Chain A
Amino acid sequence: MSAPLLAVQDLCVHFPIRGGWFGRAQGAIRAVDGVSFEIRAGETLGLVGESGCGKSTLGNAILRIVDPNGGAVRLCDVDLATLDAAGLRAARRRVQMIFQDPYASLDPRMTVGASIGEPLSAHGLARGPELWKRVGSLLERVGLSAAHAGRYPHEFSGGQRQRLVIARALALSPDLIVCDEPVSALDVSVRGQILNLLLELQRAFHTAYLFISHDLSVVRHVSDRIAVMYLGRIVEIAARDPLFGRPLHPYTQALISAIPLPDPPAQRRRSRIILTGETPSPAKPPSGCPFHPRCPIAADRCRREVPALEPKSSGASVACHLVT
């Protein structure tokens, strides 16, 4: 197997909780707590989890939108986690990001052509007529027209704006795009268009995606491998089909069984695992396995020892004492 494009190792992001006199740190929210995974060139790793599990913070930490407290983010042989500002600027040519809200991702006072061309001119890769030619072909690549370049974001629908954001992310031909809930804010009838576009662009440019979403049906549709996060940690990482066909971690099992199926008879037939309780606060994570208070099979050991993410015989890696 070839070397991975991105190797994340033991990544930690802790946010201090300030309070009391002079705003001293009184503890920390462990948003990302020792996460490791790899992404190969041209592949999609889906990252799923519920709100507050740290999946967006993890995406932000890879691009250093937030600074990690520890660990390494190796893109080929460069460690993004420790780069200085100049090194980081150069490295960002190779990693781009798409956010959930296409309304907030574009400057309302800039023409969309200027927004899409900005990365090219900022990195000194094109200017003048050459820049506009490249902007025009990017617009066409994402299903819009070169004639749209002079318009402003408010003239576009949500789905079209997400196409514009994708065009801007593609401008520098990145190796990796971190997609953070890229279709969650869009109308249901428009989501399919954007997912199809992302898949088509991946085939054309061999771009790798880290695809972050809370929607498991969407993640299954676009991903090659999938990592499941709970309370700042990866609890299971596996290839797509085994993860959905035979999930091993009790949390993954509950999550998959809770997906609402758009099929009433199938919905009635299946048995669901309804978890009790709520996700604990990452400021006060439970002792031992972070999932044990909600886990239907938790044993004594789970309350004491944190399980490590370990490869199992099936090929999946699972952080659970009770999975062999």
Chain B
Amino acid sequence: MSAAAPVLSVRDLTVTIGRRAVVDGVGFDLAAGETLALVGESGCGKSLTALALLRLLPGAARLAGGAVTLEGADLLRIDEAAMRRIRGNRASIIFQDPQSSLDPLMPVGDQLVEGIRAHRDLPRAAARAQALAMFNAVGISEPEQRLGQYPFELSGGMCQRVMIAIALAARPAVLIADEPTTALDVTIQAQILDLMKGLLRDSGTGILLITHDMGVVAEAADRVAVMYAGRLVETGSADAIFGAPRHPYTALLLKSVPRLDDVPKTAMAVIEGSVPAHEEWPAGCRFAPRCPLAEARCRAEIPPDATIGAGRTVACRRHDDVAAGRLPA
């Protein structure tokens, strides 16, 4: 899986707001056909990471360093015209709220046709035929009729299917999906995740899936990178992360989610305190104030990334104690 050269390679990515690094030295690889979940809570910097990859950062946020290599090109150093040719073509992005990602004044079919023709020199009729085929592929019922409809006439699930069709129109090497199912109902979420898996198995596109939902991660991801307060704290295969988490944050987060096999109406394990705003990030390990294993050194110095297996890293000085079950329940 990760033996082949990665299609997307991110090194030491840093994004600042004012003087604060809100994305702080993030690095990972994404292989063709693989789904990597970037998981974390609100404010951890996961969406800023996604936006930074395509140089779509909002006003206050600045790209301060790092390298993003997509199929050999360093996206942080090419000019804007070259970047525009890559966006939507070699790398696409879909967002949580599909209704606000679509142009409300244009039929969805035209938006897809426009997307197809922006990247390939096709006559209108051929692009329209292609659009129809894509609507079919993403499971839109009555595709012929839907092509002429406006976003407000479609449900949230339907709009997300349209967004996926647009994002995949150019057969990108990488699809960045930022909370793609968070706004959808659970039965529709199941449909969309199923759809994405099927389409990508066929095309070999790599997915960077950004989410806060551990259930979605378990369902869709091959590998997982856990983010807390701007930094990656743990990476590994989905089975390793869920089966044997080594960072106290990952381990506690997994325990604090209600599960179908836990004992109902009893107290759950919790993480004390709340996710700090970036103005309040501590020096040292940023999880230390909430960590039951934290010691003086954790509060003083940012822990280095320890490699604990193939494709398995953890940024915690006490990861052996977590492995040995010394994390209080």
- Give the B-binding residues of A (Cβ under 8 A): 44, 50-51, 157-160, 187-193, 195-196, 199-200, 214, 216-218, 220-224, 240, 244, 254-255, 258-265, 267, 272, 274-279
Contact = CB atoms under 8 A, between A and B. Distances in A.
Contacts of A199: 265-267
B272 to A, nearest CB: 8
A221 B193 CA distance: 25
A188 B41 contact: yes
A278 B265 contact: no
B264 A275 contact: no
Nearest to B237: A264
Contact of B258 (A50, A195, A267, A279): A195
B187 A254 contact: yes
Given A192-B271, A255-B186, A278-B155, 7 more contacts: A158-B274, A187-B42, A220-B264, A260-B190, A260-B213, A261-B259, A275-B190
Q: Is the contact region of chain A dominated by helix, strand, or loop, or is it mixed?
A: helix
Contacts of B290: 189
Given A222-B265, A261-B260, A262-B215, A50 B186 contact: yes
Given A188-B253, A264-B242, A223 B259 contact: no
B256 to A, nearest CB: 4
Nearest to B253: A189
B127 to A, nearest CB: 27
A272 B253 CA distance: 25
B257 interface: yes
A160 B266 CA distance: 21
30 contacts: A44-B265, A50-B186, A50-B188, A51-B185, A158-B274, A189-B256, A189-B271, A189-B290, A192-B256, A192-B258, A192-B271, A193-B270, A196-B268, A199-B266, A218-B258, A220-B260, A220-B264, A221-B258, A224-B265, A240-B264, A255-B187, A260-B186, A260-B218, A261-B218, A262-B215, A264-B238, A274-B191, A275-B187, A275-B190, A278-B157
Contacts of A275: 187, 190-191
A239 B264 CA distance: 12
Interface string B35-59: 0000001100000000000000000
Given A189-B271, A260-B213, A278 B264 contact: no
A48 to B, nearest CB: 9
A260 B219 contact: yes
B295 interface: no
A259 B215 contact: yes
Contacts of A274: 187, 190-191, 194
Contacts, number: 139
Interface residues of B, number: 49
B265 A50 contact: no
B241 to A, nearest CB: 9
A157 B186 CA distance: 28
Contact of B242 (A220, A244, A263): A263
Contacts of B260: 217, 220, 244, 259, 261
A263 B258 contact: no
Interface of B: 41-42, 141, 155, 157-158, 185-191, 193-194, 212-219, 221, 238-239, 242-243, 252-254, 256-260, 262, 264-272, 274-275, 290
Contacts of B191: 274-276
Given A195-B268, A240-B264, A264 B158 contact: no
B188 A160 contact: no
Given A188-B214, A278-B155, A214 B270 contact: no
B256 A267 contact: no
Contacts of A277: 141
B162 to A, nearest CB: 14
Nearest to A191: B256
B194 to A, nearest CB: 6
A260 B290 CA distance: 27
Nearest to A224: B265
Contacts of A265: 239, 243
Contacts of A259: 186, 215, 260
Contact of B218 (A224, A262, A279): A262
